[in-house]
């Protein structure tokens, strides 16, 4: 079976600097297909079931589901908006539905909050997420992932019409049968083999990895944008007249000036350029909130533990001008070299 995930390990935070503590993809992977046994992330092509959970959580687009691509999902959402559809439905592909108004995804865990928020822009349609019998699937723990995503969406949009259904609930509500899983919840033979009939991983498994980590002094990923972050900002920009700017939507870094050693490592490893040195005589670090993807790289790299995270509001996210996180006058000036003469 061809791997349904595109893999760009050079964009991984651990590849940018090994001090990163990010392990979101490893924690969420249901088959332990991802590991960090080397200085770079590795993806086992046989273990991977292409569910896409890693795609929704990774802040730097290391993973990308091939079917459907993000662009296909956005196009589907836009078409439904133009049609003034009363509902936008995403369904797990394992229910084998043939309903034309459904959009199948490998797993609902693949739907990150920025995609769901895109459904709620300029439309009154309700969003429905249909899952099958998750407890019988390889992704038995993913129902909590779906629920947490919905909570995040409703934090942004309290009036959002979005709901998670299991197959039986949706069938009962709409008085129809969807092919794939019967009303009794029994898996079809074909689906059972598709979930559990995979070959076990072996030494012959194709390990996809990159071999040379990026040196933080030459960070090629500064000033680049990431899909989920861009979608999220677009939603907030469009909806700023309808949502409270005081709403807490995340966290932002803050620097303790008493602990800071002025090493500026945090600015060198920031993958988006959200942190930068201000070109002044004093030591000054600027922070641009709209660029921050909350990857915690700056916090992980700070050996003085001077960086912590505090709540961030929508107003912070929409600010285009950088703010000063820390500003210190030069306390240490180069002293003139002293010549010491020893007489014998």
- Boundaries of every domain in the chain: 5-209, 216-328
HSE toward the beta carbon, residue 293, CA cutoff 13 A: 26
CATH, domain range 216-328 = 3.30.70.20
Q: Over its length of 344 residues, how does the chain's per-residue pLDDT go in tens digits?
A: 457 889 998 889 998 888 899 999 998 888 889 998 877 789 998 888 888 889 998 999 999 999 899 999 999 998 988 888 888 999 888 776 557 788 989 888 899 989 998 888 766 788 999 887 776 676 666 777 888 888 888 887 888 889 888 766 665 555 444 444 433 344 444 444 444 444 444 445 566 655 444 444 445 445 567 989 999 888 888 888 777 777 778 899 999 999 999 999 999 999 999 999 887 778 899 999 989 999 999 999 999 999 999 998 888 888 888 989 988 875 444 444 455 555 55
pTM of the entire predicted model: 0.76
How far is residue 288's CA from residue 64's CA, in Å, rounded to a whole number? 27
**How far apart, in whole angstroms, are the C-alpha atoms of residue 238 and residue 270?**
27
Q: Residue 188: its pLDDT value, please?
A: 44
- According to the model, what pLDDT value does residue 202 have? 47
Count CA within 13 A, CB hemisphere, residue 13: 23
* Residue 216 near residue 268 (C-beta atoms within 8 A): yes
Q: Which residues in 17-50 are b (16+ Cβ under 10 Å) and which e?
A: bebbebebbeebbbeebbbbeeebbbbbbbbbbb
Report yes or no: 63 and 2 within 8 Å, Cβ to Cβ: no
- For residue 20, the model assigns a pLDDT of 92
**Burial class, 15, CB count within 10 angstroms (exposed 0-12 / middle 13-18 / buried 19+):** buried
336's tokens? 């003139």
**The predicted structure's pLDDT at residue 102:** 86
């Amino acid at each position: 079976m061809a791997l349904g995930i595109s893999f760009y390990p050079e964009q991984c935070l651990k590849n940018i600097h090994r001090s990163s503590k990010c392990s979101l993809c490893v924690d969420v992977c249901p088959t332990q297909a991802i590991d960090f046994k080397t200085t770079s992330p590795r993806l086992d092509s046989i273990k991977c079931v292409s569910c896409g959970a890693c795609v929704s959580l990774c802040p730097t687009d290391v993973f990308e589901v091939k079917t459907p691509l993000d662009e296909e999902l956005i196009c589907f959402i836009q078409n439904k908006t133009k049609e003034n559809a009363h509902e936008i439905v995403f369904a797990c592909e394992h229910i084998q539905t043939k309903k034309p108004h459904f959009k199948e995804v490998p797993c609902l865990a693949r739907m990150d909050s920025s995609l769901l928020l895109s459904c709620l822009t300029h439309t009154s349609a309700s969003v429905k997420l249909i899952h099958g019998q998750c407890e019988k699937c390889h992704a038995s723990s993913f129902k909590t992932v779906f629920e947490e995503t919905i909570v995040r969406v409703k934090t942004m949009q309290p009036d959002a019409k979005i709901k998670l259904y299991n197959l039986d609930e949706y069938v009962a509500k709409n008085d129809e049968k969807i092919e794939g899983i019967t009303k009794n919840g029994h898996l079809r033979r074909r689906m059972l083999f598709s979930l559990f009939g995979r070959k076990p991983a072996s030494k012959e498994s194709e390990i996809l990895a990159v071999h040379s980590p990026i040196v933080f002094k030459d960070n090629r990923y500064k000033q680049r944008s990431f899909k989920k972050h861009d979608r999220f900002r677009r939603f907030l920009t469009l909806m700023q007249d309808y949502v409270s700017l005081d709403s807490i939507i995340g966290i932002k870094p803050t620097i303790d000036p008493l602990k800071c050693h002025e090493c500026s490592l945090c600015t060198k490893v920031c993958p988006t350029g959200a942190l930068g040195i201000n070109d002044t005589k004093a030591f000054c670090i600027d922070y641009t909130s709209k660029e921050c993807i909350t990857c915690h790289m700056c916090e992980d790299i700070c050996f003085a533990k001077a960086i912590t995270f505090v709540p961030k509001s929508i107003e912070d996210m929409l600010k285009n001008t950088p703010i000063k996180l820390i500003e210190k006058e030069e306390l240490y000036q180069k002293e003139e070299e002293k010549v010491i003469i020893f007489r014998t």
